[in-house]
Structure 1
Amino acid sequence: MKTASLSRRGFLNRSGVLLTGLTLNLNAVSGAQAEPIIDIHQHTDYMGRTHDQLIAHQRAMGVTTTLLLPAGTPAFGLSTHKGESNGLQAKCSGNDTCYNLAKQYPKEFLFAANEVPDLPDATQEIEKYLKLGALVIGESKFGVQCDSPEMQRIYELAQSYNVPVLMHWQHGMYNYDFARFHTMLEKYPKVNFIGHAQTWWANIDKNHHDQTVLYPKTKVTPGGLTDRLLSDYPNLYADMSAGSGLNALQRDEEHARGFLERHQNKILFGSDCLDAFGHGPQCQGSQTIAAIRKLAPSKTIERKIFYENAKTLFRL
């Protein structure tokens, strides 16, 4: 049974690569010139996905530049929920892996720096990779207060190196007390922060009161906390990735069009997709691309979200 399972998996993996190659070849034959897309949110070894599968996935989606976000060092304290959150709770690999893949494919991949914030050498580990060229700190996905001394040391490091911090907001699990985050935006006005994940996107709605609901499906009333923070603070940006970002687009398309227009200079495309193929019903990343193309009020705004905003923010 084991041999059969491995054989089937190998066949599926090879099929995915062949389909990707076919897609790219068809584009070449038709003379289509793909517009550049920057994906600011991807991971290496995501739930066991291989590097070859990751590369094929990004190419199939039409992504031209990918930012790899590492996990921190495996640790077993409170911030990683005694190890449950190691590997970003998704078996993702760390700084070395992201750095090495980016160096192997410099035209396609860039890399970030990350570390468990309450480890004693957290800032030293992050700084090591900032010195090597990391463009952002994150994904910060740890069970700590958003304004804790540990996180503030990271914000101070980001300020020193002029890089953004990408934060995963998930009520009761990661980066606690979203409602207090405005104090950090005010204390560190020179640091650009990027918001991501369930609690971030749920709070586009002014009527989102039950923070335990992570994927709300109701119509959206503008003016939620996320909406207000993006309007009020020039140092805050939005990462459109993951199922939470896609849900924010699909739950109320009329609101989504207005939101994309209102925050057109603040929204960044990210996939955070663990699919191995880059197309089809299981590929949430390609669905997000399709949703943005459908809902962006203009081609100008679409290009900002897919490319120009990230190019400016990361100084590419």
Structure 2
Amino acid sequence: MKQQDLKACGDLSRREFLTAGLGIAAAPLLAVPALSEPILDLHQHALYMGRSDQQLVDHQQYNGVTITNLLAGDGWMLSELGGNADCAAIQAKYPDQFVRFACADPVEGRMLDIGGSALEGPVDDLSPRKKSIIGLSWPAPAVKLRSAGLGAGRRHGAIGIGEMKFHVPVDSLEMDRVYKLAEELHIPVLLHFEYHHYNLELENLEKVLKRFPKVNFIGHAQTWWGHISANLNATTMYPKGPVKPGGLVDKLLANYPNIYGDLSADSGLNAVTRDPEFSRGFLERHSQKLIWGSDCACRDGKGGGTSTGYCIAARCLAALRKLVSSQRALRRILYDNGTELLDLSRA
């Protein structure tokens, strides 16, 4: 999700990012014809910036998306997008087109019971097993458990946790509880990294990857993609110009099998277009670890309803089709990696 993508921040503001232009011109990108192969959108939202369900469906169809993963919000995020119930409603209405993740604010002491039965109640009423799964140790009057029926398959439940976008260190006790739940239920976690705002201290993610080797993590947003380069100013949300090899993201993707990259939003688009020569090698090198997502709030596939006037999904798809020369690698990024990570074969 890209709330902070919409505000000025640091050395390069949103406005400056838009006016600076992409590393690959927008017009040529949009001229690249679409492929007839399947596409999985890893990163979309219900009710995004007031968009209706039908507008979401139309947007995805316009961009040729085969299946869409809806990321829920919680807490402050609900002012911009839908929560667990909203995502579940779309999934129920369009079961062949949508799957979903579930979200809860760990800072407020809420957590998910994605695999169990739906219930609400005091912490003391929970079974010892559920307490151990969630890792409850903080004083809270109640814990809201949202069932997503993992065992019932994708058509009836959530298949991952996200979007986790809260003001807490990535290796904090609160987030550890999230990771423990993901480990117990064998589901991935999608993290929004944004300097000084969300999932703080990205440099400590490596510790998390080592501590939870059985959990698959998905990195997303400005600070995550800023680290594609070894030369980074953390306050610059949309760095331009050549990428210096040896960035943290490059190293993590190469060295840890349980971390993936979400190419969505302007942050992902900027990362792959700021230095086309570097990006070609990066995309090929990590073609089994990168997953396309849009995080696009436009309503028609043409930029309708946005302040930017363009569709992020269309631009990023066009960029990838131009930068990735191997059709096999492109297929992996646009579809296979996502379906394998989300285990959609168990539908």
TM-score, normalised to structure 2, is 0.76
Corresponding residue for residue 46 of structure 1? 48
Residue identity opposite 1:163 in structure 2: I
SS in 1 for 2:69: strand
Deviates further, 141-150 or 274-283? 274-283
SS in 1 for 2:162: strand
Corresponding residue for residue 182 of structure 1? 206
Residue identity opposite 1:314 in structure 2: L
- Shift of the 257–43 alpha-carbon distance from structure 1 to 2, 3 Å rule, reads same
Cα-to-partner distance string for 1:16-69 (whole Å, 9 max, x where unaligned): xxxxxxxxxxxxxxxx98311000100011111111110100000000100000
Corresponding residue for residue 308 of structure 1? 336
CA distance in 2, matches of 1:101, 1:166: 20
SS in 2 for 1:167: strand
**Unpaired segments ≥5 residues, structure 2:** 1-33, 114-143, 151-155, 304-308
Report whether the alignment pairs 1:113 with 2:136.
no
- Shift of the 130–234 alpha-carbon distance from structure 1 to 2, 3 Å rule, reads farther
CA distance in 1, matches of 2:224, 2:273: 16
Residue identity opposite 2:57 in structure 1: I
Corresponding residue for residue 148 of structure 2? 129
Counting only pairs closer than 5 Å after superposition, residues 83-162 of structure 1 correspond to structure 2 as 85-87=76-78, 91-124=80-113, 125=144, 128-129=147-148, 131=150, 132-162=156-186
- Shift of the 112–126 alpha-carbon distance from structure 1 to 2, 3 Å rule, reads farther
Cα-to-partner distance string for 1:146-197 (whole Å, 9 max, x where unaligned): 1111110110000111110000000000000001110000000000000000
- Is the Cα contact below 8 Å between 1:126 and 1:137 reproduced in 2? no
Please point out which of 247, 268, 277 is paired with 1:245.
268
Provide the identity percentage. Answer: 45
SS in 2 for 1:128: coil
- Shift of the 250–126 alpha-carbon distance from structure 1 to 2, 3 Å rule, reads farther
Residue identity opposite 1:57 in structure 2: H
- Shift of the 185–159 alpha-carbon distance from structure 1 to 2, 3 Å rule, reads same
Report whether the alignment pairs 1:203 with 2:232.
no
CA distance in 2, matches of 1:181, 1:52: 37
CA distance in 1, matches of 2:194, 2:64: 29
Report whether the alignment pairs 1:285 with 2:313.
yes
Corresponding residue for residue 273 of structure 1? 296
- Is the Cα contact below 8 Å between 1:95 and 1:113 reproduced in 2? yes
Task: Give the superposition deviation at 1:121.
Answer: 3.1
SS in 1 for 2:147: helix
Q: Higher relative contact order at CA 8 Å, sep ≥6: structure 1 or structure 2?
A: 2
- Shift of the 109–138 alpha-carbon distance from structure 1 to 2, 3 Å rule, reads same
CA distance in 2, matches of 1:272, 1:159: 26
Residue identity opposite 1:153 in structure 2: R
- Is the Cα contact below 8 Å between 2:147 and 2:157 reproduced in 1? no
CA distance in 2, matches of 1:130, 1:193: 21
Report whether the alignment pairs 1:172 with 2:196.
yes
Corresponding residue for residue 16 of structure 2? none
CA distance in 2, matches of 1:219, 1:237: 23
- Shift of the 304–126 alpha-carbon distance from structure 1 to 2, 3 Å rule, reads farther
- Is the Cα contact below 8 Å between 1:61 and 1:279 reproduced in 2? no
Structure 1 vs Structure 2 CA RMSD: 1.5
- Is the Cα contact below 8 Å between 2:38 and 2:335 reproduced in 1? yes
- Is the Cα contact below 8 Å between 1:114 and 1:126 reproduced in 2? no
Corresponding residue for residue 64 of structure 1? 66
TM-score, normalised to structure 1, is 0.83
Matched residue count: 271
- Shift of the 164–272 alpha-carbon distance from structure 1 to 2, 3 Å rule, reads same
The structure carrying a bigger helix percent of its residues is 1
SS in 2 for 1:118: helix
- Is the Cα contact below 8 Å between 1:196 and 1:241 reproduced in 2? yes
CA distance in 2, matches of 1:199, 1:136: 22
- Is the Cα contact below 8 Å between 1:113 and 1:130 reproduced in 2? no
CA distance in 2, matches of 1:196, 1:174: 11
